[in-house]
Amino acid sequence: MSEWISDIVGPGYAQSIQVETVLYEGRSAFQHIQVASSPMFGRMLILDHAVQTTEADEFIYHEMLVHPALVSHPRPRRVLVIGGGDGGTLEEVLKHQVEHVTMVEIDRDVVEVSRAFLPSICGRAFDDRRVRLLIDDGIAFVQQTQEKFDVILVDSTDPKGPGVALFSEVFYAACARALTDDGMVVAQSGSYIFQRELTEHVREHLRSVFPMAMTYWAAIPAYPGVLWSFTCGSTRHDPRSLTHELIADRLRLVSTRYYQSQMHPVAFTLLPSLEA
Ligand code: SAM
């Protein structure tokens, strides 16, 4: 069986990936869930017909969502992950000397399907004693929590279905309240090329609640348009001011395949038309 999955990101543009085998298919209370294998990308997690992560390039997305913030913050001890059901973000966070990681994922089925069919992505992250997994709506959690986090990572789907609220000003304002005085938040902010409005929307919202907000990018082949953006809101630490030496020192104990100290300034260098 060979068919193609088409990820439509905007008017007039879709990216199609060949699918060989569907290993899992089901519908949860929140979304349609598939795990399929592709000759080019290996096993892929697909939610509501949009590719979320693939074995071939998940490391690029997860490393770039996690490490720029965790090396920008001098002592990230308490981290909150919103979404991230595949466990890839969690695995990267646990490479750092963090003491406690809370992960708030709305859909238990995504976690269980990922643990069963995508072990190369989540590894043993869900079994780490530093991890607290909560099955809950991320926006409700940040609005209610009295806890304070050093870094909040928003590994959400696109702004569809349960993910819509995770792109709202109300959500980012609640994140700002759930951070320590020198805390930072990073959110995936869509295709750098085909979802420019979304990227700017996220940056404007973060800019309205943080003294600093900036966008950076990475090349992720499985994502439509390949160039993907992340947007950071920070109260004190500016990722753009880090030296190569400081990044290399803070990455000393962290193994990475894509994110390197040399890569950091490149990622924060945007096309002039999208300059922060
Ligand atoms: N890397 C992917 C991307 O950029 O499209 C995201 C991957 S991750 C699988 C996205 C996760 O966000 C999903 O597991 C989904 O269930 C979760 N999610 C969506 N809305 C949520 C919400 N309101 N609260 C918590 N998790 C949510």
Cβ atoms 240, 68 nearer than 8 A: no
- One digit per residue, the tens of pLDDT, for the chain of length 276 reads 568 998 877 778 889 999 999 999 999 999 999 999 999 999 999 999 999 999 999 999 999 999 999 999 999 999 999 999 999 999 999 999 999 999 999 999 999 999 999 999 999 999 999 999 999 999 999 999 999 999 999 999 999 888 999 999 999 999 999 999 999 999 999 998 888 899 999 999 999 999 999 999 999 999 999 999 999 999 999 999 999 999 999 999 999 999 999 999 999 998 666 554
Q: Give residue 37 CA to ligand 1 midpoint distance, Å.
A: 20
- Please name the residue whose Cα sits nearest to atom 2 of ligand 1: 52
Atom of ligand 1 nearest to the CA of 51: 5
Which ligand 1 atom sits closest to the C-alpha of 104? 25
Which string of b and e fits 162-194 if b means at least 16 CB within 10 Å? Answer: bbebbbeeebbbbbbebbbeebbbbbbbbbbbb
Identify the burial level of 106 via C-beta atoms within 10 angstroms of its C-beta, where 0-12 means exposed, 13-18 middle and 19 or more buried: buried
Q: What is the pTM of this model?
A: 0.96
Q: Which of 82, 46, 90 has its CA nearest to residue 168?
A: 82
| Alpha carbon 148 to its chain's center | 20
Give dist(CA 176, CA 71) in Å, integer: 19
Which is catalytic among the residues 48, 155, 181, 249? Answer: 155
Coil vs helix vs strand at 197: helix
Measure 161 CA to ligand 1 centroid, in angstroms: 10
Q: Which residues pair with 79 in a beta bridge?
A: 101, 151
**Which amino acids bring their CB within 6 angstroms of ligand 1?**
45, 52-53, 61, 82-86, 104-107, 110, 137-139, 155-158, 162-163, 165-166, 188
Q: Is 182 annotated as catalytic?
A: no
Nearest CA among 74, 44, 272, 25 for reference residue 182? 74
Distance between CA atoms of 140 and 108, rounded to whole angstroms?
16
